[in-house]
Amino acid sequence: MVAINNYNVYMLVVILLSAFGVITLLFWISVFIFGKIFFETSCRRRKGDEHFAETEPRKAKNAPDRKWLFSHNIEEITITSFDGLKLKGFFVKNNSNKLAITVHGYHGRYYSLSKQAQFLYENDYNLLMINNRCHDTSEGKVISMGKNEAKDLYQWMDLMIKRNPEYQILLFGVSMGAHIVMMTLNNLPQNVKCAVEDCGYSSLYSQMIYTSGKNHVKSPKFAAWCGNVYALVFHHFSFRNDTKNTLKDCKVPLLLMHGDKDNMVPFKNLEINASLVNPNIYKETHVFTDCDHCEQIKIKGEEYAQVVNNFVNKFIK
């Protein structure tokens, strides 16, 4: 009777462990499936992105700021990233020791910031307008939205300083580009004198959750968690990168700007990022009223240019 009871206990344990194993396996299979879908949707290069310029609407190509940019002699520069990608930058010479490096946003391209480039050029800046990895003519298949792109930005800085050791550099990023810029601010070459971030997110993970909710993804927190697991296991980077540590040790003056009606990167990011900046470093914040995501340069161009120029002129002469 004791043997039978022991056998029953043994079989019960086996069944429970087997059930637990099956449930665990099914759970991780679901994490893999959901994570892969989330990752592929969010972080993969868009199909045909490298040929976007060929099919872009005529109206966009004929915008005054674009015509202005392409009226100049633009030098195409190529660097090789730390992981072997050919990345493209576009240099407009302006015969000064002032250099603005512009960093575009998610699914943008170098000329997405041609409005900003125009007023900076008029303020005597040379321009380096980069294509982030996986965008336009730069190589790559996976967008890390901050981590790897920040490493690329360091390489661009190093290259330009080698070309002219006298450069006084302004870093200027918009949206994802603003996040990329903020991710470099704790470890900068001395040539970088100040930085501007326009509507950047503080936490990539929080931004992923917010964007997923806006796109009607069920259980956006779980979806983002699955995507993060997938990114860690298969692509060796985490969505959990934020500006906390880099802004805490920020080395240069920083201008933070945001539209108060931003429907893509929540307006609260302005206060979050501003609160994180090294208290020993000069900072300014500016709110553009009644402006949605990246609209301020279009709707309030004169105010935008004045705010930026007033700031950068304090540190770059």
HSE-CB of 253 using CA atoms within 13 angstroms: 17
Domains of the chain and any CATH numbers? 44-203+241-312 (3.40.50.1820)
HSE-CB of 30 using CA atoms within 13 angstroms: 8
Rg, C-alpha atoms of the chain: 23
**Given this model, what pLDDT does residue 2 score?**
47
Dist. CA 221–CA 209, nearest whole Å = 6
Helix (H) or strand (E) holding 98: strand 98-103
| Cβ-contact 315, 253 below 8 angstroms | yes
Dist. CA 80–CA 159, nearest whole Å = 11
Dist. CA 288–CA 143, nearest whole Å = 29
- The pLDDT tens digits for 92-101 are 999 999 999 9
Q: Is the pLDDT of residue 30 over 50?
A: yes
- What's the longest Cα–Cα distance across the chain? 97
- The pLDDT tens digits for 225-275 are 999 999 999 999 999 989 999 999 999 999 999 999 999 999 999 999 999
**Could you give the residue ranges of the DSSP H alpha helices within the chain?**
2-43, 52-55, 58-61, 64-70, 114-122, 147-163, 176-182, 204-214, 220-235, 244-248, 268-276, 296-299, 301-312
**Could you give the residue ranges of the DSSP H alpha helices within 164-241?**
176-182, 204-214, 220-235
- The pLDDT tens digits for 261-313 are 999 999 999 999 999 999 999 999 999 999 999 999 999 999 999 999 999 99
Q: What is the mean pLDDT of the chain?
A: 91
Dist. CA 183–CA 153, nearest whole Å = 10
